[in-house]
């Protein structure tokens, strides 16, 4: 367990931010001298705001405005959380995958990048909202904790729902068939799930139930990284009679590792589906049904108490089972449509045109074909003329 990977000195970050802001502002002023009217960048203001935030939250003065003794006293370092690093890694990897698959499936890179960006933002918002809704009692005393995601508290299915709804809106806005985009995005989502679970393992959240299996893992008690002990250690002390002097928790299922294996395995399956798919939506449905079956099984082995419940099921079990039913219904519909119109079901064969460009979904336009024929005819006539002159 290592919730904080590294801590960066706050004072160093403050002066780096101020220096970069001054350098960028000077660059903008020089640019305006050579090109009057050129716009000023917002980056200096953003860096300045970040520097003032460091003064407010990391210095002992707790004020946005530095005081006389602000820099003579020690500042709290800026922690780089393991979960945040893995979440960021998953977003970066997902970006490259989406761009690659979008090119293969006829979606413009600009559209894919924009949809991915907004989907990522709303995935984080959705995952946090679902966590808050399933743990409302934890936020009644301090509502500000709702936005403190560095303390943990994201639900994968909330992110998937938020990202899906955002994708629906953005695809309609850009006139991109939803199923065409879904087959592009699904592999990056499932791979991202596997990567972020490594962050859960390092953070100590989402731990499993007690086990005697040889691969059971123990989480640490109070230490420099976690003064109150890991979540598993705390729960075992409160409920299972573990001594407060114990250095580690009882052995538990490494459910975070299980989820990583599920994510990587489903990613491999989806890549095979992309290669041999018969109709659009097949990759997306494979993800929905596959994850909807495997996630509830892993939930049986979990023991953390911040998952919420719907009757006898945890929130994720309920959503997973519902998604399997909906996915199966969608699969039946797509198979029926494929049998009726095989070519029309393969949306990746029809490139999505730009919003203000020609429709490329049915090949070159009539004027373009006419121009090519005209040009070809002219070239042939000129060639014959040259042969006659020779």
CB 296 within 8 Å of CB 317? yes
Q: How far apart are CA 121 and CA 119, in angstroms?
A: 5
Residue 378 has pLDDT above 60, yes or no: no
Q: What is the pLDDT of residue 224?
A: 81
**DSSP helix/strand/coil, 305:** coil
Residue 180 has pLDDT above 60, yes or no: yes
- Tell me which of 122-126, 142-146, 185-189 is least confident: 142-146
Interval 68-100: pLDDT, tens: 778 888 898 988 888 888 988 999 999 999 999
Q: What is the pLDDT of residue 305?
A: 78
Residue 79 pairs in a beta bridge with 7
Torsion angles phi and psi, residue 154, rounded to 5: -130, 135
- pLDDT greater at residue 128 or residue 364: 128
Residue 210 pairs in a beta bridge with 252
Residue 313 host element (H or E): strand 313-314
Distances (CA, A) of 264 to 122, 200, 271, 299: 23, 16, 11, 18
| Mean pLDDT to the nearest integer, 103-107 | 92
CA 293 from centre of chain: 21
Q: What is the pLDDT of residue 353?
A: 74
Q: Which of 368, 290, 80 is nearest to 199 (CA)?
A: 80
| Mean pLDDT to the nearest integer, 266-277 | 96
| Mean pLDDT to the nearest integer, 16-24 | 93
Tokens of 348: 């990746």
Q: Which of 177, 166, 220 is nearest to 2 (CA)?
A: 220
Q: How confident is the model at residue 354 (pLDDT cuts 50, 70, 90)?
A: low
| Mean pLDDT to the nearest integer, 195-210 | 92
Q: What is the pLDDT of residue 79?
A: 86
Torsion angles phi and psi, residue 208, rounded to 5: -95, 180
CA 230 from centre of chain: 26
Percent helix, strand, coil in the chain, to 5, is 65, 5, 30
Q: How far apart are CA 135 and CA 151, in angstroms?
A: 14
For the chain, the maximum distance between any two Cα atoms, rounded to a whole number of angstroms, is: 104
Q: How far apart are CA 99 and CA 107, in angstroms?
A: 9
Q: Which of 73-77, 120-124, 330-334 has the highest mean pLDDT?
A: 330-334
Burial class (CB in 10 A: 0-12, 13-18, 19+), 44: buried
Residue 384 has pLDDT above 60, yes or no: no
Q: What is the pTM of this model?
A: 0.77
Residue 379 has pLDDT above 50, yes or no: no
Q: What is the pLDDT of residue 72?
A: 84
User: Quick one: CA dihedral 87, 92, 97, 102, positive or negative?
Assistant: positive
Q: Which of 288, 224, 264, 209 is nearest to 4 (CA)?
A: 224
Torsion angles phi and psi, residue 217, rounded to 5: -120, 155
| Mean pLDDT to the nearest integer, 126-150 | 73
Percentage with pLDDT > 90 across the chain: 55
Helices (H) and strands (E) in the chain, counts: 11, 4
Q: Supply the mean pLDDT for the chain.
A: 85
Q: What is the pLDDT of residue 175?
A: 92
């Amino acid at each position: 367990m290592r919730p904080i990977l590294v801590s960066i000195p706050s004072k160093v970050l403050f002066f780096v931010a101020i220096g970069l802001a001054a350098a960028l502002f000077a660059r903008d002023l020089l640019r305006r001298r050579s090109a009057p009217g050129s716009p000023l960048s917002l980056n200096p203001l953003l860096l300045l705001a970040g520097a003032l935030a460091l003064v407010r939250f990391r210095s002992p003065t707790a004020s946005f405005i530095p005081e006389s003794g602000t820099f003579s006293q020690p500042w709290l370092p800026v922690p780089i959380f393991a979960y945040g690093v893995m979440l960021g890694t998953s977003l970066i990897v997902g970006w490259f995958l989406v761009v690659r698959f979008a090119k293969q499936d006829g979606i413009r890179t600009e559209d894919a990048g924009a949809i991915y960006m907004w989907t990522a933002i709303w995935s984080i918002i959705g995952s946090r909202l679902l966590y808050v809704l399933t743990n409302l009692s934890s936020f009644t005393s301090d509502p500000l904790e709702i936005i403190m995601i560095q303390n943990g508290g994201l639900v994968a299915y909330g992110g998937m729902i938020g990202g899906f709804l955002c994708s629906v809106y953005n695809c309609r806005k850009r006139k991109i068939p939803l199923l065409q985009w879904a087959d592009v995005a699904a592999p990056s989502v499932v791979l991202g799930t596997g990567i972020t679970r490594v962050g859960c393992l390092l953070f100590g959240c989402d731990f499993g139930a007690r086990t005697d299996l040889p691969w059971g893992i123990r989480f640490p008690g109070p230490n420099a990284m976690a003064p109150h002990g890991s979540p598993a250690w705390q729960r075992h002390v409160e409920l299972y009679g573990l001594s407060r002097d114990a250095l580690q928790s009882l052995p538990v299922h490494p459910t975070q590792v299980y989820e990583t294996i599920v994510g990587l395995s489903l990613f491999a399956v989806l890549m095979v589906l992309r290669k041999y798919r018969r109709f659009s939506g097949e990759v997306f449905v494979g993800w929905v049904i596959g994850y909807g079956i495997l996630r509830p099984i892993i939930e049986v082995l979990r023991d953390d108490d911040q998952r919420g419940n719907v009757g006898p099921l945890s929130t994720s079990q309920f959503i997973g089972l519902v998604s399997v039913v909906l996915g199966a219904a969608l699969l039946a519909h797509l198979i029926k449509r494929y049998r009726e119109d095989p070519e029309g079901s393969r949306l990746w064969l029809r490139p999505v045109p730009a919003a203000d460009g020609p429709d490329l979904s049915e090949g070159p336009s009539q004027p373009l074909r006419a121009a090519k024929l005209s040009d070809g005819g002219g070239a042939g006539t000129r060639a014959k003329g040259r042969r006659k002159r020779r």
